[in-house]
Every structure is written in C-alpha cells, then in structure tokens.
Structure 1
C-alpha cells in the first residue's frame, strides 16, 4: 500500500511537524462563561495530538476585554486565569506529541454576545447580512455596528500583538490570525462591508491595510522566529456565496500579507467543500495561486477528511497541508487511521453542535467504529 502523502513530515517556518494533517479551528464555546479554558478543553485538544495530528489550531479566541468577543462561552487570552487554562492545554498537547496554534479572533460586527461592551465595531456602519446562529445562542439579526475610529483601529491592532505575545508566553507553538469567515479582518477586506473613505477603505490595495498592520503588530510582538499564520476565506458564516473579484484581487491580498511577515496561509471554505470555492476565474485554484505568489506553505480546508481529496490536493501541488474540521471531530485519530488503512467514519452533523461534551463525543465515536480494509 502506498503511504498517503499527508503522513509525510514537514516544516513551517522553524516548526517541524510530524505530518501534514492539521486540526482546523472550530468554535466550541465550551468555557463556563469566564473565557477560561477548562480541563475538558485540555483533554479535547490533547486527543487530537494523541490521534496523530501534526498541528492543532484552537477555536477562535478573543484578544481583549473590549470589542473582540463574539460568543458566550468563547475562550479568551486576556486574564491570568485564562492564561493558566491555556498553559494546561499546551502542556497536554505537547505531552501527547503534538504542536498547537492559538487562533486570535475579533468578531467585529458579527457579535452574538459580548459581556464587555453593549455595542459593536466594524469598518463601516453596515448592517451584517443574515441572522445570528442559534447553535451559538443567537437569535434575530446582528446589531448595526458603529464605524471604528482611527483610535479604535490602532487599539485593535495593538491588541492582536499583545494577545500573540501572551499566547507565546503560555507555550503555544504558533498563532493564527483569524482573517476569514466574515469576522473583523474579513470585514475590512470585503468591499460591501468596508465603505470607508480613508486609508483603510476603497480599492483592495487600501482595504488590505488593516490586516497588514495586524500582521506587523503580531510579528513585532512575538519576534522573527515564532510561527505566525493567517486564515483567509472568500465565504463567510453569514454569506456562503461571497467570492473575491478574481485571481487579481486574490494575488494582491496574498502578496501584501506575505510581505507583512506571515509564515503560512490557511485558506478556508466556510460552509463549502474545497472544490466549491477553490477555482478562480483563471481556472487556477486559490490555494495553488497562494503558493505560487508567496512561496509560503499553504493549508487547504474543506472536505479534506476524504483521503482521496487530501491526496489529490497535496500530490497535485494545490497545498502543502490539509486541515480537517468536521472530519477531525468524527475521527480525532484520523492520521493514525490513514496510516493503518482504516476508513474514516462518516461525519454526523450532530457533532457540530458546539457544546457537545467529551462524554457525548466518546459515546458517538464508540457507536461508529471504523471498519478496516
């Protein structure tokens, strides 16, 4: 049997990974409301490491006690107890042989619950599309955000850097900046949510300025050797149909963020499989274009739990690593299953519910044991 390409060791920046399988960030909102990572969360992340994943990305984590929190139960990287909780998470993952990145997140206009502020900030005062997600405790339309001032923008940019430094201090191997899925950074990148007339709005060359300054802030805070990634997407949690204008816009974004200092790009497909969002107007895939333009490692996301698709994406040069979300929930030992020739079990949508407990997940896994070929 040919060894699957995903099992080959690789390196991103200075971090050596045992394979090319990544756990994608998934909102689990599993704290007790104080943003403090729990013992169950430490076990949850450690299980992916024990299951053989090379890199684990945490759920989106709020960066300040101001405007960044998006959901009730979301973890933070702000207070001393939160730092202590994450320190336990990173220790457990390292003992199990894995590496772990903290995803730094600011919700912007897409806030469903934030105990720190009763208003939201965004690039422009534009009503968000869609409605809040019931699975995360929301109902009805999102609030109309206020337009962020330049002072607000400077504070948020500094907040990303400070949060990254705290993540490094508690043992994370990397940070991943959440620039995808319709949250704040993506709101600056998107033409219909960014109507600003200043240096942060207008053509894509100016809309990219905010994320460039966030990347620079993070890089300055953690130093040249620490791994910094960036997640981007065309689609959003509240707009599955959005696409960038084409390959030219994508190339502009990729060049700018690479020059700003990221070590890798993680290209997500919110609500869609990879094939549904991968192909650009030129016929090139967005992931391979990112590799060609930047020379950086690229992580592909969207349906990668299918061994055949993962192999194609890697072997045909579309990406360097693959990230699993729902496939990792269903198969926390997916890399070991691939190595052993087992068929990954089918995903059950019930496992996407953010507050599924570890006991419920173990029961579900026991009832869906894989069949070996």
Structure 2
C-alpha cells in the first residue's frame, strides 16, 4: 500500500491570530494597474481573487502608497491615501475572502527611488544607485532626493498609521510595513544612503528606528489586524548589498521590529533565490536567525515554488510560511496543483515584459490559449 505524504506547505497555520488554510502566500508584486488616481480596478480584483481560488491561504497586496505627499513610487500604483482608494480595495478583499483566502495590505513609501513622482525624498541627499526600471515605466538615473526634516519624518509615520486605518476599512486582514528592497524605510536602514547625524542615523540601532516607529504606529492604529514587516538586504537597485555587520546587524534589526510590535517578519530576496541571499557567514540562514531572535513567525521568499527547497525551509527550521512571486504568476493555482501532485508551469518573462501590468499578463495568457 502506497502512502502519499502531504507537502508541509499545505498544513494550516495561524499568523498573529490570523488562521490560514496553508503556508502558501502570494508575494507582493507591483503591477502598476490601478487608475491614475491610485484606485484599484475590477481587473485588479479579478487578478487577486484568482490566487485565492487557486488555493493560496494568504495574498499580499502590491506595494501601496500610504499618503499623497511623496510616497507614491510608480504611475498607476494603487494607494490607501484617500477614501476612494478604500472603496476600490474593498472589492478586492471581498473577492479574496469569498474564495477562502486572507489578504494583507503592504504599505510602501518609495522615497528616493520614486520614478512616477517628482517629489523624491530620502534620509539624506544621496543619489540612488542604478537607474529607473523600464518595466515600471521609468528610464534614466534617479534624481538626488531632498533630505527629510524631523517634522516630515513624523508626518510620514502618521501617514502610515492613517493608511492602516483605511486598510481596516477596506477589509484587509493585516498590514505589512514595507521596509525592504531599497524603498524609503530601507533607505534609512542602509548605511550608504543614510548620512544623518540625528537619532535616525549612525549605528544600525538608529537606522532601524524609523521602521520600528512606523511598526508601532500601525500596530497601535489597528490592534485588531495583524501587523508585520518586510525586510531585505538586497534592493531593486542593488542586488548585491548585504547588511555590513552580518549576523550582529541582523540581530539588532530583528529585535527592534519585534519589540516595536511586529507579529511576523517577511524576509525578501528581491529577485534572487533564497539560497543566494539567506546564507550567513557562519553557515546559518537569515530567516532562521529571525525566528531565533524574535520567536515570531517568519515568511521566506525567493524560489519557494521549488518543492524540495520549500520542504527544506519549512522542516529545517528556516521559516514558517512561503511567499511566492513569479511562481505564483505562472501558477495562480499552485497550492491546488501541489495538493493534486500536478506539475507546475514554468514562469515566462514575457508575462512581465515589456511591462509588469495585469493587462500584459492577461494578453500573454490569451496568446498561449489561441
């Protein structure tokens, strides 16, 4: 008699009080498909609901701007800065919930690497590395941002908290503070973009302070929702960066966000496989260290559609959940396929080229079905 062993990713889990049917999450992926004013569309609602229908227990929204001052990073990026945004997102979250999934809003302030917003700000007046991303409608180098004042930093924190309240009104189950991938909060954490000499600059304990303050503000604004934080070493404009202090820096960073009120940590790989970005010099992994330091659930990212790697991550003590990007685009029904032992489709870069929009992915699928 043959016994089929279920993949550990299919086991249910509770994330900060939020019951999930499995450990598969759709990673936050910018699709720049909202209306020009930042309101989500019906097409976006269909896009997100498809993942829930395919069995994903958790769906993250794409990076969503929290205020109308300087947080928007891309043209046609969705927001949670106004009441009309709430109404649009309410349709999206209702579709995900109706299909048995749960949804978390990721709040993102682009800061110095905003390419659809002329008002670029940052911790210091340091030009970002690299160039704007063509797939998101940009080209050429980023401008030198204007250094934020202390009062403006306080306003940004208030903006995150207000957006979290709108997320609750829109029907989200949680809020994720985006402090990864080179956006504003990560710019404060990164040594070469933060030259400040005040309480938000200098040692790593100071550079993580803004992220911690935002996490606290969000957690206090919506205590009934799950508050998490996304962190990464690599960035959209710097794939090779690592925290200079290695394990020591990571311990300070993880402890700070946990103490601030985060109920989970989401460790991103920014287009790289987990194996490339998670390994520490001593042989451990950054995701396992996050679990060890905080005692909180950790979400791992980067190639988690690979069943063998996903199995090792979950059973080897490296993480508790898996977030999947390109693998989910190619397989919006990935959990259902895994449960049925069906093969997974390969990701085709044409799905996000020449643009990353939902419409472009739809045209790709239609061309394959023709």
1:302 counterpart residue number: 302
Is 1:239 equivalent to 2:238 in the alignment?
A: yes
1:370 counterpart residue number: none
1:272 counterpart residue number: 272
Q: CA contact under 8 A between 2:188 and 2:210: conserved in structure 1?
A: yes
Alpha-carbon separation, structure 1, partners of 2:137 and 2:363? 20
Offset of 1:34 from its aligned partner? 1.5
Alpha-carbon separation, structure 2, partners of 1:94 and 1:17? 11
- Give aligned pairs, total: 363
2:200 alignment partner, SS class:
coil
Structure 2: 5+ residue runs without aligned partners? none
TM-score by length of structure 1 reads 0.95
Is 1:163 equivalent to 2:180 in the alignment?
A: no
Q: Summarize deviations over 1:33-53 as a string: whole Å, max 9, x none.
A: 121100000010000000000
1:227 counterpart residue number: 226
Q: Summarize deviations over 1:83-139 as a string: whole Å, max 9, x none.
A: 11000001111111100001000001001012xxx3211000001000000111111
Alpha-carbon separation, structure 2, partners of 1:99 and 1:356? 20
- Map 1:1-373 → 2, pairs under 5 A: 1-114=4-117, 118-223=118-223, 225-245=224-244, 246-352=246-352, 353-357=355-359, 359-363=362-366, 366=369
Alpha-carbon separation, structure 2, partners of 1:5 and 1:365? 32
Offset of 1:360 from its aligned partner? 2.0
**Superposed CA RMSD:** 1.1
Question: How has the CA–CA distance of structure 1 residues 201 and 228 changed in structure 2, closer, same or farther, with 3 Å as cutoff?
Answer: same
Alpha-carbon separation, structure 2, partners of 1:312 and 1:190? 30
Q: CA contact under 8 A between 1:330 and 1:365: conserved in structure 2?
A: no
TM-score by length of structure 2 reads 0.96
Offset of 1:29 from its aligned partner? 0.1
Structure 1: 5+ residue runs without aligned partners? 368-373
1:62 alignment partner, SS class:
coil
